[in-house]
Structure 1
Amino acid sequence: MASETPQPPLVWNHTPETILSETDRLIKEGRALDDQIAAIKLDEATVDNVLKPYADLENRQAALTNQLSFYQHVSPSKEVRTSSNKADAKFRAFSIESGLREDVFKVVHKVFEDIEKNPDLAKEPETKRFIEKVNRQYERNGLGLPAETRAKVKELQQKLAELSLEFSKNLGENTEYILLTKDQLAGVPADVVSQFEKVEDKYKMTFKYPDLFPVLKYASDPETRKAAFIGDQNKAPENADILIEAVKLRAQLAKLLGYKNYSEYVLDDRMAKTPETVMTFLTDLKGKLRLLGENELELLKKLKTADLKEKHLKPDDNYYVWDHRYYHTMMLEKDYEVDESKIAEYFPMQNTIQKMLSIYETIFNLKFVEITNDSKLYNTWHDEVKQFAVWKVDDKETPEFVGYLYFDLHSRPGKYGHAANFGLAPGYTDEKTGIRVYPSTSLVCNFTRDTKDKPSLLKHDEVVTFFHELGHGIHDLLGKTRYSRFSGTSVHWDFVEMPSQFLENFCWDHSILKRLSSHYVSHEPLPDSLIGSLTRSKNVNGALFNLRQLHFGLFDMALHTSDDGEVDMYKLWNDTREKVALVSNGGVNTKGFGSFGHLMGGYASGYYGYLWSQVFAQDIYYTKFKKDPLNVKSGLEYRDKILARGGSGEELDYLSDLLGREPNSNAFLKELGISN
C-alpha cells in the first residue's frame, strides 16, 4: 500500500547553503506576488485575480517554509540548525514586511468589500472565510494607521520575532547540567542513572526530561531534588531578560494598534474574545479548586512528615515545589499501589506505539503503513526517525491516502527538548488543477533509548503524552480543507489542544489499557489489579495539578494585561506560584519564566487555552465515548465533524453539530472533582 502513495514524501536533503538559498527564493516569490496584486486597479480586483493567486502561493509555499524552519529543532547538524534558525528569522521578517503592505491591503480590502455585499462572489463558505481572515490579518497589523505609526509597528514586530527565535534557540541548544554523586542519586532507578554520562566519580544530569523527571520523582535526598529543580528553573538565564523585554514591546505594540493591552489584542482573534472572559474563567476555577487543593496538600504534608521521620531527617512543615513530584509519586505507590517503574514494564515503547496506532486505526478507520529504511520512499532528517504512510479505509477496496507521519522519539544534542507535534506540510486542494495535496506531520519526543538489558519502557504519563501529541498529528492528517490556511490544527488557538486532551482520556480506560499493554518479557497485558490501582489514581492531587496550570495561566495573563509591560516578573512568577499553586519556593526566587517556552512560542496571553479547551474535550468524551471508547460510529462522527473541518468554520458550530446541543462544562467540573 505504501508504495502506491499518490504523492512522494518530503525530501530531507537540505544543506546549510540550500536552506538559505531556498528561503531567499520563496521570499522573492512572495514579494513578486505582493507587487502583482498591488498593481491591480481597484475596480478590476476580483476573486480570480487577487484571492486565488494569493491562496495558491500560500498553499504551494507552506510545506517548504515549514520544513526549512523545522530543521532548527531536529537536525543533528549544528550548521543546519543555525541556517534553519536564520531562515526562520528571514521568513518572519518578510511576513511582517508583507503584512504591512498598504498597497496590497487596499486591493484585498476591495475584494473583501465586494464579497460582503455579494457573498455569491466567493462561491463557497471557505473562500469567504479565507478573504475575511486575510483582510482581518491586515487590519490587525495596523493598516489604516498613519505611515509613521506603521513603521513603528513593523519595527516592534521584527524585534519581537528576533527575540522569539533567540529564546527558542537558547533552549534548544542548551547543554547545562549539574553533577551529582551516586549517594546524591539514591532512590533514582538504576537504569536511569546508567544512562547518565560520568564525569570522574560523578554523574551528569542534564535538564532534558528523561534525566530531570526521574531525579525529581525518586531522589530520596531533598537537597538533590532542590538542586535539580532550581538548576532547571534557572537554565538559559539570558532568556529571562528576553521575556522581560518582549512583554514591554508587546504592550507598546498593542497600544499602537489601538488596544488597551496585548491580551486584548490577542484575544480579539480567539474563541474567548476578551481578557475579562478569560480572567472570569480562571479566577472562578481557582476559587473552586482551592479548598480541594488545600486538602490534597495536607495529605502530602503528612506523608512528608512521616518520610522525614523514617529517614531521621530534620522535621520540616513546609511543602516545597521540589517536593511535589517526589511525594506525589510516593503517594501513588503507598496509597494506590501504583508503582510507575513496574507499570512501565508493560509499556515497551515500540510495542506500545504500534498498539496505540491500532487504536487510532479502529476509531478513525485508518491504516498506518511504516515506510522502512530499505524503501525508496524512506526519507527523513535522522536515521532514527520512523516514517509512516497513512490511509483512510472507509472503503476497504479503495483506501484513500491521508498523508505522511514521522516519529522522532529520542533525545540528542541540540534537539527540541520537550514533546511536541510539528505540522510540516498542510493539506489543501490545488487551485489550478483541483488535485488534492496531502499533509505531513511529525511528533518530536525525548524518550529513553533501549539498553542492552531491556527496551525503552514508557512511564504511564509518557504514554499519555504520546497519545496527546499523536492527537495533534492525527488532527493535522485528517483535516480536509480547500486552503492550507485552515488545514488540520489551524483552528483558534484556544481550541487547538482540545482533540489531544480528548484522546488523553483513552489512556485511563480499563479496556484500552489492556489493549495497549504488553510486558516486555512475558508479553502479558497489565493485570486487573494494576489497572485498578492506576485508574483510581487518575485524579489524585488533581486540584494541585490544575492549580499549577492556573499559576502558569494567571502569570501569563498578568504579564499581558499590563498597560505598559513594566512588571516585576521575578516577584510575579515566584509569588503567584506560592499563592495559586500552594507550594513553597523555600525562599528561593528562580527565573523559571525564562524556560516557559509557550510565552515566546505563540501562547502569549494564550496559556489559559489548555484549561479552556478541556471543557470541550471532556464534554465530547463523556457524551460520546466514555461508555465505549472504541465506538467506531462515534469515532467517525468526531473525525468528520471536528477533525476534518480544521479551521474552515467556527468551532462552537462543530461542537453543537457533534453533541446535538451547545457544549457545557458539566463533564469538565465532574472530572476535576468539583461536582458529582
Structure 2
Amino acid sequence: MFPEFKSDDLLIKEKAILEKMESNEKFISNLLEQSQFNFANFLKPYQTIHTELSDLSTEISHLNSVKNNEESQAVYTRILPKLTEYYTNLGQNENIYNAFLEIEKTDRTINPEQKKVLSNEIRDFRLSGVGLENSKKEELKKIRIRLSDLSNQFSQNVLNATNAFEMILAEEDVKGMPEGELNSAKTENGKYKFTLQFPSYIAYMTYGPNREKRKELYKAYTTKAPENGKILEEILELRKKESTLLGYETYANLSLATKVADTPEQVLEFLNSLAKKAKPIAEKEISALREFAKERGVENLESQDLTFYSELLKKEKFNYEEEKYRPYLEKESVTKGTFVFLESLLGIRFQEAKTEVWHPSVLCYDLIIENQTRARLYLDLEARKEKKGGAWMNNWKPHFINEKGKETLPIAFVIGNFPSATKDHPSLLKPNDVVTLFHELGHALHHLLSRVNEAFVSGVNGVEWDAVEFPSQFLENFAYEPKVLSLFAKHYKTGEKIPEEYIRTMVDAKNFQSAMAVVRQLEFAIFDIKIHQVAPKEEEVQNILNEVRKEVSVFFPPSYNKFQNSFSHIFAGGYAAGYYSYKWAELLSANAYYSFVDKGVFDLQLAEHFRKTVLEKGGSENAMKLFRDFYGKDPEIEALLRLNGIAA
C-alpha cells in the first residue's frame, strides 16, 4: 500500500532523477503528437509523470535536510541546477502551453478540481516566461538556475556556520540552569557545551547566568554566515531582473501573483494596521522589562539580556517556569497524547507502522479514518548534528488518482529539532516545543487528509502561499487548551497528571510579551516586502531594516547583528515577499480556532465541517473561498487581536 523510504541509496536516486527527466521529455513529445488535447489524454498523464519526478526529488532534498553529509551535499548540489533547468525549459515550452489553452477552450467535461489545475498551470506557464522571445527566455533560465544555486549556498552556509561554533563552559558559568538543559549540554569531561543549534542556543540565552557568555553566544548567532551578505544582494538583484522580464513592477508584485493578497500595498496596509494596535502595548512591555532588569542591577538592557530577563519576569509575574513543565512533556507521551487529541478533535486515528526509516529515532504512523487507511506520516523530532535546524513538514506523495484509475495515498514527513533522548534521559519538551509539534502536524494533516484526486492541487499542493499556514496555525493554538493538555501531559517518572494550576499558569502566561512578539514578526514581514520592492545592495538592505525597526520595533539590536544573513525563510525557502503570510494566515486561523473554543473545543459536527470544507479540499479552490465555506463570512481582525491578547 505504501512504498518504503530508502535512505542509503543516494546515487541510485540521483540516477533515477536524471533518467526520469529524460524519459519525461520523450513522454511529453509523444503526448504533443496527438491531434487534439483534453484533460484526460494530456493533463492527467502530464500530472502523473511530474508527480513521480517530484517524489524522487523530494527524497534527495529530504535526506540532505535530515541526514546531511558530504555525499548528500554533493548529490543535491549536482542535481539542483539540472532540476531547475528542466522545470525552466518545461515552463517555457510553447507547445505545452498551447495544449493547455486548447483544453481550456474545448474541453467541457472537466470538473472543478481539474479546472483549478488547468488555470494554475496556465498562470504558472505565463510566470515562467512562456511568451517571451528566445533571448529573454534564455536569460530567465540562467537567472533561475543561478538563483537555485545561490539559495542552496545560502542555506549551506548557515548550516556550516551553525555547526562550526561551540562554547565550552565551566561549572560556574552554568550555575542555576535547569537540570534538563545541563544534561543536554554536559560533556564527558564534566564541562558544558553550547552551540548555535537552536535548542542549545536558546537554552543558554534563556537561563545562562553569565552575561558576558550570553553576549558571546548571541554575537556568534547573529553574525554567522557573513558571506551571505553578498549572496543575498545577488539574490535580490536577480529576483528584480526576473520580475522585470516577466512584466512585473517589482519582485514583490511577482510573488503576490500566486497568493491571496493582491498588491504589496495591500499587504503593507494590513501589517501596518496591526503594528498600530500592537506597538503601544509592546512599548509598555519593554518598559516593564527594562525596569525589572534595572532593579536587578542591569542599567542598560542589551540584546543578550532580553530572553534571560523575560524568563525571570515571567517566572515572577506568573510563577511560570518552562523547565518545570518538561517532566510532564516527555516526547513519546506527548506524541501519543497528541494523537488522542486529534482523534477527539477530527475523528482520525494513528496506527504505528513498522517500516524502514533513516534514523532509529524516526517513527512512522498510518492515518485511519472511518476504518480506512488514508495516509502515512513519518515523525523525526530529535535534534542531530547532521540535521538542518528548525522544524518543518515535507510532503513526499500527494493523494492522487492517475489516468489508469490507480490511487496513490498521501505521505508526509514532520521534522523537529527537539532535545535528543540519551540512554539516561528521555527527550523532555518545553511547552513551546509542543506548539511547534502541533503547528507542523497541522501542515501534515492539511496534506494527508486531502480527498482531491488531482495531484497538482491535492493537499498542500496548489494552496496559495499566504494561506498555507492557516491549518498549521489553527492547530497550534490548541496546545494551550486545558482540555487538550489534560489528555497527555503527565510526569515521565511517576505518571502523575500535570497539576491544574500548572495549566492555568501556562494559559495565563501565554500572551506574556505577546505584543513584543507581534511587532518582531511585523518587522520581518515589512522588511521582506520592502527589500523585494527595490532590490537594494547589501548596505542598503541594512538601512531598510533599520528604517523598518524605527517604525514598528521597540528594541534595537547592536549594529553587528546581521540577522538577514541567516534569514533562510526568504533567501533559501519559499517565503520571499511572502513572510507576511504567517500573520495573514493567523487571521484565518484565529477565527477558525475560536469557532471551536466557543463550542467547547470538541464538536464533531463542526470538526467534520472543517475537515470537509478546508482540510480535504487542499488547493483545489481559492483559500479565501474555502475559509468562507467553513466560517460563513470574511475573517475578523478582532479574533487575531484576541488570540494575541491585544485589546481591539
Would you say 1:179 and 2:167 are equivalent positions?
yes
- For 2:142, the equivalent position in structure 1 comes to 155
Matches of 2:154 and 2:386, distance apart in 1:
14
Would you say 1:208 and 2:197 are equivalent positions?
yes
- What stretches of structure 2 of length at least 5 have no aligned partner? none
2:302 pairs, out of 280, 298, 320, with: 320
Q: Which amino acid aligns with 1:209?
A: F
Matches of 1:13 and 1:85, distance apart in 2:
18
- For 2:14, the equivalent position in structure 1 comes to 20
Contact 1:250–1:565 under 8 Å retained in 2: no
**Could you report, residue by residue, the CA deviation over 1:313-345 in whole angstroms, capped at 9, with x for unpaired residues?**
xx423x333322112211221100111111111
Where 1:479 maps in the other structure, the secondary structure is coil
Contact 2:233–2:536 under 8 Å retained in 1: no
Matches of 2:468 and 2:190, distance apart in 1:
47
2:86 pairs, out of 94, 110, 113, with: 94
**Could you report, residue by residue, the CA deviation over 1:100-120 in whole angstroms, capped at 9, with x for unpaired residues?**
2223222322323335xxxx2
2:315 pairs, out of 312, 333, 353, with: 333
Q: Which moved more, 1:615-624 or 1:74-83?
A: 74-83
CA gap 1:88/1:387 in 2 versus in 1, 3 angstroms: farther
- For 1:408, the equivalent position in structure 2 comes to 380
Would you say 1:593 and 2:593 are equivalent positions?
no
Would you say 1:643 and 2:630 are equivalent positions?
no
Contact 2:40–2:403 under 8 Å retained in 1: no
- For 2:101, the equivalent position in structure 1 comes to 109
Matches of 2:348 and 2:636, distance apart in 1:
30
- For 1:343, the equivalent position in structure 2 comes to 325
Post-superposition offset of 1:508: 1.2
Post-superposition offset of 1:53: 2.2
- For 2:449, the equivalent position in structure 1 comes to 478
1:49 pairs, out of 21, 38, 41, with: 41
- For 2:363, the equivalent position in structure 1 comes to 386
Matches of 1:665 and 1:131, distance apart in 2:
33
- For 1:59, the equivalent position in structure 2 comes to 51
Contact 1:69–1:85 under 8 Å retained in 2: no
TM-score normalised per structure 2: 0.95
Where 1:559 maps in the other structure, the secondary structure is helix
Where 1:368 maps in the other structure, the secondary structure is strand
CA gap 1:333/1:154 in 2 versus in 1, 3 angstroms: same
Contact 2:451–2:616 under 8 Å retained in 1: yes
Contact 2:362–2:381 under 8 Å retained in 1: yes
**Could you report, residue by residue, the CA deviation over 1:522-554 in whole angstroms, capped at 9, with x for unpaired residues?**
212221211111111111100000111011101
2:217 pairs, out of 228, 247, 266, with: 228
Matches of 2:602 and 2:167, distance apart in 1:
47
Post-superposition offset of 1:35: 2.4
CA gap 1:489/1:625 in 2 versus in 1, 3 angstroms: farther
Q: Which moved more, 1:557-566 or 1:662-671?
A: 557-566
CA gap 1:217/1:566 in 2 versus in 1, 3 angstroms: closer
What pairs with 1:526-605 in structure 2 (closer than 5 Å)? Answer: 526-562=498-534, 568-574=540-546, 576-577=548-549, 579-586=551-558, 588-599=559-570, 600-605=572-577
- For 1:30, the equivalent position in structure 2 comes to 24
**Could you report, residue by residue, the CA deviation over 1:204-250 in whole angstroms, capped at 9, with x for unpaired residues?**
32211121111110112222222212211222232232212101110
CA gap 1:337/1:436 in 2 versus in 1, 3 angstroms: same
CA gap 1:353/1:199 in 2 versus in 1, 3 angstroms: closer
Contact 1:93–1:161 under 8 Å retained in 2: no
Contact 2:614–2:627 under 8 Å retained in 1: yes
**Could you report, residue by residue, the CA deviation over 1:163-200 in whole angstroms, capped at 9, with x for unpaired residues?**
11222223344412132422333443243234336497
Post-superposition offset of 1:80: 3.3
Contact 2:328–2:498 under 8 Å retained in 1: yes
Q: Which amino acid aligns with 1:467?
A: F
Matches of 1:18 and 1:197, distance apart in 2:
40
Q: Which amino acid aligns with 1:469?
A: E
Matches of 2:182 and 2:550, distance apart in 1:
32
Matches of 1:643 and 1:128, distance apart in 2:
19
Contact 1:332–1:339 under 8 Å retained in 2: yes
Root-mean-square deviation (Å): 2.1
Post-superposition offset of 1:565: 6.4
- For 2:76, the equivalent position in structure 1 comes to 84
CA gap 1:218/1:579 in 2 versus in 1, 3 angstroms: farther
CA gap 1:214/1:626 in 2 versus in 1, 3 angstroms: farther
Matches of 1:83 and 1:70, distance apart in 2:
12
Matches of 1:133 and 1:662, distance apart in 2:
24
Q: Which amino acid aligns with 2:420?
A: R
Contact 1:64–1:425 under 8 Å retained in 2: no
2:246 pairs, out of 235, 257, 274, with: 257
- For 2:340, the equivalent position in structure 1 comes to 358
Where 1:406 maps in the other structure, the secondary structure is strand
Q: Which moved more, 1:608-617 or 1:159-168?
A: 159-168
Would you say 1:121 and 2:92 are equivalent positions?
no
Would you say 1:71 and 2:42 are equivalent positions?
no
- For 1:525, the equivalent position in structure 2 comes to 497
2:349 pairs, out of 367, 370, 375, with: 367
Q: Which amino acid aligns with 1:388?
A: Y
Matches of 2:490 and 2:324, distance apart in 1:
12
Contact 1:356–1:516 under 8 Å retained in 2: yes
Q: Which amino acid aligns with 1:488?
A: G
Contact 1:427–1:479 under 8 Å retained in 2: yes
**Could you report, residue by residue, the CA deviation over 1:428-467 in whole angstroms, capped at 9, with x for unpaired residues?**
11221x2321011111111112345442211111111111
Contact 1:100–1:142 under 8 Å retained in 2: yes
Where 1:137 maps in the other structure, the secondary structure is helix
**Could you report, residue by residue, the CA deviation over 1:582-617 in whole angstroms, capped at 9, with x for unpaired residues?**
11323x322211211101211000000000111110
1:274 pairs, out of 243, 250, 263, with: 263
Where 1:175 maps in the other structure, the secondary structure is helix
Contact 1:97–1:154 under 8 Å retained in 2: yes
Post-superposition offset of 1:518: 0.2
CA gap 1:521/1:383 in 2 versus in 1, 3 angstroms: closer
Contact 2:596–2:602 under 8 Å retained in 1: no
- For 2:276, the equivalent position in structure 1 comes to 287
Q: Which moved more, 1:472-481 or 1:235-244?
A: 235-244
Contact 1:62–1:426 under 8 Å retained in 2: no
Matches of 2:168 and 2:548, distance apart in 1:
30
Percent of counterpart pairs with the same letter? 27
Where 2:249 maps in the other structure, the secondary structure is coil
Contact 2:366–2:375 under 8 Å retained in 1: yes
Where 2:194 maps in the other structure, the secondary structure is strand
Q: Which amino acid aligns with 2:165?
A: Y
Would you say 1:614 and 2:586 are equivalent positions?
yes
Matches of 1:488 and 1:85, distance apart in 2:
28
Contact 1:479–1:645 under 8 Å retained in 2: yes
Matches of 1:254 and 1:76, distance apart in 2:
33
Contact 1:178–1:231 under 8 Å retained in 2: no
Contact 2:250–2:534 under 8 Å retained in 1: yes
1:441 pairs, out of 397, 400, 412, with: 412
